[in-house]
Amino acid sequence: MTKIIDYVFSIGSPWSYIGLEPFLDLVEKAGAEIRPYLTTVVEENGGIFSRNRPEARRQYWQRDLKRWAGFRGKNLLLENRPPLADPAPAAFMVIAAYLDGEPWLDLTKVLQEAFWGRGEDIGNPEVRKAIATAAGFDGDALSKREGDVDVRGKWAADREFAIKNGVFGFPSFLHDGELYWGQDNLHFLESHLNGVKP
């Protein structure tokens, strides 16, 4: 029986970006299947946008991100970032790719790499269309799909799923009724997938 992991994440989450490859390695080893859910910080469950955190916590957050990025071998541009639009609309493009049976994980990777690794404005539809096209996708077609009813419907349903299942931050992983928050908890998810529920 195939093991299912509900993967709740945000395109605009640096932690989702940092933890994606090790998560995919774990999924491959376990022979699991991913069901994606995309949303933004779930304030209804206690999630807090970084801009609303006290300065001391923001400073620690940035330092911890740098430590983990180095540990994971990820390029992370935090200082001297140009003014960028809200990256959340890039989720519509990823959802469109998922619904159309395209490699949505590859698209997620290139969009997050652009945003967090190079400071590119994926909130701008022309920018993300160009990024998708350069990665081998039909950027124009995916861009046009972003406003479609099924895409927006999944976006709304994904948020309801996150609220209902107690998700507040990213990335979050649900398997067999258990919630694991954060890329630093992947080892607990791995144990669970191997039959040992922490």
> What pLDDT sits at residue 45?
86
Tens digits of per-residue pLDDT, 115-160?
999 999 999 999 999 999 999 999 999 999 999 999 999 999 999 9
> What pLDDT sits at residue 183?
96
Q: How far is CA 190 from CA 8, 21, 67, 170, in A?
A: 17, 14, 22, 17
DSSP state, residue 185 = G
Report pTM. Answer: 0.93
> What pLDDT sits at residue 32?
96
Q: Are 20 and 101 in contact (CB under 8 A)?
A: no
Query: Which two three-digit tokens encode residue 96?
Result: 């469109």
Q: Exposure pattern of 42-74 as b/e (b: 16+ CB <10 Å)?
A: beeeebeeeeeeeeeeeeeeeeebeebbeeeeb
Query: Which two three-digit tokens encode residue 89?
Result: 């609309």
Tens digits of per-residue pLDDT, 48-82?
877 778 889 888 988 999 999 999 999 999 888 88
Tens digits of per-residue pLDDT, 75-107?
999 888 888 888 999 999 999 999 999 999 999
